[in-house]
Chains A and B, each alone.
With several copies, the nearest count.
Chain A
Amino acid sequence: MDTSRNFWTFLSNHLFSFLGETAFMNFTMGHVVMIIIGLILIFLAIAKGFEPMLLIPIGFGILIGNIPFAGAEHILSDDPENLQIGIYQSGSVMNYLYFGVRYGVYPPLIFLGIGAMTDFSALISNPKLMLVGAAAQLGIFGAYAAALALGFSPSEAGAIGIIGGADGPTAIFVASKLAPELVGAIAVSAYSYMALVPVIQPPVMRLLTTKKERLIRMKPPRTVSKLEKILFPIIGMLFTCFIVPAAIPLLGMLFFGNLLKESTVTKRLADTAKGQMIDIITILIGLTVGASTQATTFLTAKSVGIFGLGACSFIVATFGGVMFVKIFNLFLKEGNKINPLIGNAGVSAVPASARVSQVIGLQYDKTNHLLMHAMGPNVAGVIGSAVAAGVLLSFLF
């Protein structure tokens, strides 16, 4: 009878202690906020079609990362209280998968796939558009300066600035080196604004251009030979990496992927790089970046600052691209002038910002197709922001 009583005490004790360990007993307002953010991202992805390949993994990752279980603070490998569940707990699956984010392994592998799916023809046929891709990187350094002014440390400011490069993997790569604790906030911010490019850019473009400028017609791009396409990744890699060696991990992989594609003799490797390989990395990077936004580490004034700076960086980047075209046009002969409506495309949200150019262009002249021309600065922006990332790492890492 005594034993039986002990048994029921034991039973209820354990049941209650289990209940005490459920997430219901441990959640805070912060977790609620984060879960709502995760749900919003998933909603935007499904209902609005915004960047679903990234917002769904990130959004669901946020949900997973914000299940508020007891003992999340026990993160060391030999801590007996470490239940190996949370992303910061060593020995947990999420922690193993997060390795690729924390140490910057995934972004270069994504660049490999991007290289294998990018066609640089538009850029090769009109290489001066490369400079527009350079100009749009002003957003990065604008955000860097603004972040310094807001009191972020130089390392953090560099990691935040890179949001202006409009490149998720680049942002994650730089942040993992300069400010690993901000990776989550920076990645979520970068992807959110990339999704909002069609909302952010048009007013800036209209503000900065005259009606006459918007009607500029550009020469059709010339045809690009196979040899040029093969030489581009080789020369592109050598030149950019000679100038900015710190960009090797990103640009080396980008141009390697592109050579796999353009050589045509390694088609099956290019297909895998831009297919299942990038898919696997996309799943893992999105999920773990999302899960790293644990309410306790994520919901800070810094995160709010990062979101504000992100918006600012995209506006400055658009400004930089459009204004550069206007100034550049002063030096170009009539007939060679560039329509400043493709300046925004230097913000390398491929192909979103190029589509914005096309849409705005058609609003003023229904026969003036800018898409083809805008692809040039668009892919140049990918190169430009990787170079900028290299510069930041050279000075700040």
Chain B
Amino acid sequence: MLSTLLIVEAGERVAGKSAEEFGKMDPTGIAMAMIAMSIVFSALIFLYFTFKYIAKLYNIDLKKRFRKSRPDIEHTEAHEEISGETLAAISLALNLYHQQMQGLEDAVITFKNAAKSYSPWSSKIYGLRKSPNN
């Protein structure tokens, strides 16, 4: 006989107990909302200050050092220095462009589906590659 993974109904973690206790002490959910929202906020405030600070630090110090050691990367960045307004405009332009492209893409796909080797006429991977007289 081959072996098999034993599927059982036992062995599950006994959950829900801490939930019950919590629910008993905070039947309205207000405490949960207050604790949880303050944790969510503190996590993101933490990140906020870090990246506010990093941005400043970076502008002052790291950027220059970094520039020295990795000129190629800085070069790329130079290309990226486009104002936000421009970016917003570009983003919209791209959006429109996509809609057009989508149309084109569909056309291309239609052709490809007709032409590529993996559709109707050889649709199953275990199809023959050659038949004797063909």
Asked if A and B touch directly (CB within 8 angstroms), the answer is yes
A interface residues (Cβ-Cβ under 8 A, vs B): 6-7, 10-11, 14-15, 18, 47-54, 75-80, 82, 84, 88, 90-91, 95, 99, 102-103, 113-114, 117-119, 121-125, 127-128, 130-131, 133-135, 137-138, 140-142, 144-149, 153-155, 157-158, 168, 177-178, 180-181, 191, 194-195, 197-199, 219-228, 231-232, 235-236, 239-240, 243-244, 264-265, 267, 274, 278, 282, 348-352, 355-356, 358-359, 369, 371-372, 375, 379-380, 382-384, 387-388, 391-392, 395-397
B115 within 8 A of partner (CB): no
Q: Known contacts A145-B28, A158-B19, A351-B122: does B127 contact A223 (CB below 8 Å)?
A: no
Interface centre among A18, A91, A141 (most CB of B within 10 A): A141
How far, in angstroms, from A169 to B78 measured CA to CA in the complex?
Answer: 37
Q: Known contacts A10-B31, A351-B124: does B134 contact A225 (CB below 8 Å)?
A: no
Contact of B128 with A80 in the complex, beta carbons under 8 Å: no
Distance to closest chain B CB from A264 (angstroms): 8
**1/0 contact string of B120-134 vs chain A (CB within 8 Å):** 111111111111111
B interface residues (Cβ-Cβ under 8 A, vs A): 2-20, 22-23, 25-52, 54-55, 58, 62-63, 66, 69-70, 73, 76-77, 80-89, 91-92, 106, 109, 118-134
Which residue in B16, B46, B81, B126 is a CB contact (below 8 Å) of A194? B126
Distance to closest chain B CB from A220 (angstroms): 2
Residues of B within 8 A of A90 (CB): 3, 7
How far, in angstroms, from A47 to B69 measured CA to CA in the complex?
Answer: 9
Distance to closest chain B CB from A240 (angstroms): 5
Return 7 A-B CB contacts under 8 Å, by A number.
A15-B35, A118-B123, A127-B52, A134-B44, A134-B45, A235-B54, A351-B121
Residues of B within 8 A of A222 (CB): 55, 84
Contact of B12 with A77 in the complex, beta carbons under 8 Å: yes
Known: A117-B123, A137-B37; 9 extra A-B contacts, CB below 8 A, are A50-B130, A78-B10, A80-B14, A148-B29, A177-B15, A226-B76, A244-B39, A384-B44, A395-B32
Which residue in A80, A121, A282 is a CB contact (below 8 Å) of B13? A80
How far, in angstroms, from A124 to B128 measured CA to CA in the complex?
Answer: 24
Q: Which residue of B lies closest to A383 (CB)?
A: B44
Interface centre among B45, B82, B121 (most CB of A within 10 A): B121
Contact of A195 with B33 in the complex, beta carbons under 8 Å: no
Q: Which residue of B lies closest to A196 (CB)?
A: B128
Distance to closest chain A CB from B131 (angstroms): 4
Distance to closest chain B CB from A105 (angstroms): 12
Q: Known contacts A227-B62, A350-B127, A358-B134: does B87 contact A220 (CB below 8 Å)?
A: yes
Q: Known contacts A114-B123, A128-B48: does B118 contact A274 (CB below 8 Å)?
A: yes
How far, in angstroms, from A15 to B80 measured CA to CA in the complex?
Answer: 44
Contact of A102 with B44 in the complex, beta carbons under 8 Å: no
Contact of B31 with A14 in the complex, beta carbons under 8 Å: yes
Contact of A48 with B121 in the complex, beta carbons under 8 Å: no
Residues of B within 8 A of A140 (CB): 36
Distance to closest chain B CB from A248 (angstroms): 13
Q: Top 10 closest A-B pairs, CB basis?
A: A220-B84, A145-B29, A154-B23, A141-B33, A352-B128, A350-B124, A49-B129, A77-B7, A396-B19, A198-B131
Q: Known contacts A11-B34, A127-B51, A141-B36: does B14 contact A78 (CB below 8 Å)?
A: yes
Distance to closest chain A CB from B23 (angstroms): 3
Which residue in B30, B39, B63, B129 is a CB contact (below 8 Å) of A52? B129
Q: Which residue of A lies closest to B134 (CB)?
A: A359
Contact of A236 with B47 in the complex, beta carbons under 8 Å: yes
How far, in angstroms, from A11 to B38 measured CA to CA in the complex?
Answer: 11
Which residue in A148, A155, A350 is a CB contact (below 8 Å) of B15? A155
Contact of A395 with B129 in the complex, beta carbons under 8 Å: no
Contact of A131 with B84 in the complex, beta carbons under 8 Å: no
Distance to closest chain B CB from A218 (angstroms): 9
Q: Which residue of B lies closest to A199 (CB)?
A: B132
Residues of A within 8 A of B125 (CB): 53-54, 113-114, 117, 278, 282
Residues of B within 8 A of A220 (CB): 83-88
Residues of A within 8 A of B81 (CB): 223
Contact of A133 with B19 in the complex, beta carbons under 8 Å: no
Contact of A392 with B44 in the complex, beta carbons under 8 Å: no
Residues of B within 8 A of A49 (CB): 128-130
How far, in angstroms, from A352 to B5 measured CA to CA in the complex?
Answer: 39
Contact of A195 with B31 in the complex, beta carbons under 8 Å: no
Distance to closest chain B CB from A294 (angstroms): 12
How far, in angstroms, from A113 to B26 measured CA to CA in the complex?
Answer: 37
Contact of B48 with A349 in the complex, beta carbons under 8 Å: no
Residues of A within 8 A of B38 (CB): 15
Contact of A195 with B40 in the complex, beta carbons under 8 Å: no
Residues of B within 8 A of A178 (CB): 15-16, 19
Q: Which residue of A lies closest to B69 (CB)?
A: A47
